[in-house]
Structure 1
Amino acid sequence: MIKTIQTAFLKLRSNKIFELVVVAVIIISALEIGAKTYDLSDAAIFILEYLDVFITIFFLCEILVRFIGEEEKKNFFKSGWNIFDTLVVVISLIPVDESEMALLARLIRIFRVLRMISIIPELRILINSLLKALPRLGYVVLLMFIIFYIYAAVGSYWFSDINQVLWGDIAISMLTLFRVMTFEDWTDIQYETMEVYRFSWIFYMTFIFFTAFAFLNMVIGIVVGVMDEEHTKERNEGQPSMLDLQKQIELLSQQVEQLTKGKPDKMP
């Protein structure tokens, strides 16, 4: 009986229609959260409250289906996404009233939108790629910080007399350089310093080259490389390994050999 229920839930969790229904409920949950930010009538608030209860119960049932359908229950919590989904659903069961936990419960309900990532494989690949790229990005970020620090110190020494608001100290200078790197009206800053220092454009051009062009392209290259590795890994997991293929070939060879031996020899 238990094995039958487990098999049925396993088929249900792998069903595409079930996955689409879950995605649809997540979208409805996101719209429901957004609707609560507006001034609504009492009737609309009443409907949204019952809709929130339905969504919470649906997510609870969906987690139970996925858990019961898991052949090895301990493997269910080896996935970080399953742990995240379970925490979001369990904390969402906290009643939203005037208690001290009301704010936490409301915040957790907002994070239910992130469950879209755990449902859609492509989004999981993107997030996993970004997380795995962080260690490699650390050295690029460190080198970028060094460049920022050097240019901020130089800018603070040279341009503080021109504009104390933008170049007053090294911290403010770094914020100004971040504005230059993002091209947010950076030409206004450049032309202001060029009125005093004619060749100060070299300062801005070299800084933009190192940060906006070189380092950002390095960051993009690292992330794209990790994403390619994740896509390759995903494809390989869906294909049989060489050992599995070898076993299948041996099994087919044995079956052919048995069939050959079982045939009577033809008379000459």
Structure 2
Amino acid sequence: MEYPGMQPHYQQLISQSEKVFTLIFTVEMILKIIALDPYHYFQDKWNVFDSVVVLIGLASFGTNLSPFRLLRIFKLAKSWPALNTLMKIILHSFGALSNLTLVLAITIFIFAVVGMQILGSDYCLNSEKINPSGELRWHMIDFSHSILIIFRILCGEWIETMWECMEVAGKRKCLIIFLLVLVLGNLV
């Protein structure tokens, strides 16, 4: 792993190791292609993945593709059953996770629009109560800042924002909106 201020001899050792392992993986890929013939070799998904990793490794010699070198770790999944099982579980859960992410995005969108409609004018009219210059860091005047506040509420950093909202819009409106976002958003 490279890091700032690394000793030159250590950096050279890492560079040489990358070249040696890329060469070993390349030889392995070529031997498997010769042994299985190209058609059968590329029928296996792991072999296709290995080929992509090797080709990225070879391309990284001329360019800086360091993040793609991390894909080599997934080659272990073939020989390490626990990692292989874990990767399969993660891949199968992406479908359900995408549905949940969509529901969460719709929830954030709805609350951002509601907050902007109900509280936006109060933030415009009474912003000097919070900051004498009138410039607010957290507000629901526009859609992007409204989404940021909703996201902040869902992350648990809502107390300061709610106090500022109470200063400009009144306690009742802010408590209702913030608590609804907190309860319903965390149920999603």
TM-score by length of 2: 0.71
CA distance in structure 2 between the aligned counterparts of 1:111 and 1:62, rounded to whole angstroms: 17
Instruction: Pick the aligned partner of 2:72 from 112, 116, 121.
Output: 112
The answer to whether structure 1 residue 192 and structure 2 residue 164 are counterparts is: yes
With over 3 angstroms needed to count, the CA separation of the structure-2 counterparts of 1:177 and 1:69, relative to structure 1, is: farther
Residue in structure 2 matched with residue 262 of structure 1 by the alignment = none
Aligned CA-pair RMSD? 3.2
Structure 1 unaligned residues grouped into runs of 5+:
1-33, 216-268
Query: 1:1-268 residue pairs with structure 2 within 5 A?
Result: 34=1, 36-63=2-29, 73-74=39-40, 76-77=42-43, 79=45, 81-94=46-59, 96=61, 101-104=62-65, 106-116=66-76, 120-134=83-97, 136-137=99-100, 139-141=102-104, 143-153=106-116, 154-160=118-124, 161-162=126-127, 164-167=136-139, 168-184=141-157, 186-196=158-168, 197-199=170-172, 200-212=174-186, 214-215=187-188
With over 3 angstroms needed to count, the CA separation of the structure-2 counterparts of 1:169 and 1:139, relative to structure 1, is: closer
CA distance in structure 1 between the aligned counterparts of 2:42 and 2:8, rounded to whole angstroms: 41
**Structure number, greater radius of gyration:** 1
Q: Percent identity of the aligned residues?
A: 21
Residue in structure 2 matched with residue 265 of structure 1 by the alignment = none
Q: SS where residue 59 of structure 2 aligns?
A: coil
Task: Kindly indicate whether the alpha-carbon contact (under 8 Å) linking 1:152 and 1:170 is maintained by their aligned counterparts in 2.
Answer: no
Structure 2 unaligned residues grouped into runs of 5+:
131-135
Q: SS where residue 102 of structure 1 aligns?
A: coil
How much has 1:42 moved relative to structure 2? 2.9
With over 3 angstroms needed to count, the CA separation of the structure-2 counterparts of 1:129 and 1:178, relative to structure 1, is: same
- Give the total of aligned pairs: 173
CA distance in structure 2 between the aligned counterparts of 1:187 and 1:193, rounded to whole angstroms: 10
Q: Which one-letter code corresponds to 1:38 in the other structure?
A: P
1:208-258 CA distance string (max 9 Å, x none): 11212x21xxxxxxxxxxxxxxxxxxxxxxxxxxxxxxxxxxxxxxxxxxx
CA distance in structure 1 between the aligned counterparts of 2:31 and 2:60, rounded to whole angstroms: 23
CA distance in structure 1 between the aligned counterparts of 2:138 and 2:60, rounded to whole angstroms: 49
CA distance in structure 1 between the aligned counterparts of 2:185 and 2:103, rounded to whole angstroms: 10
TM-score by length of 1: 0.53
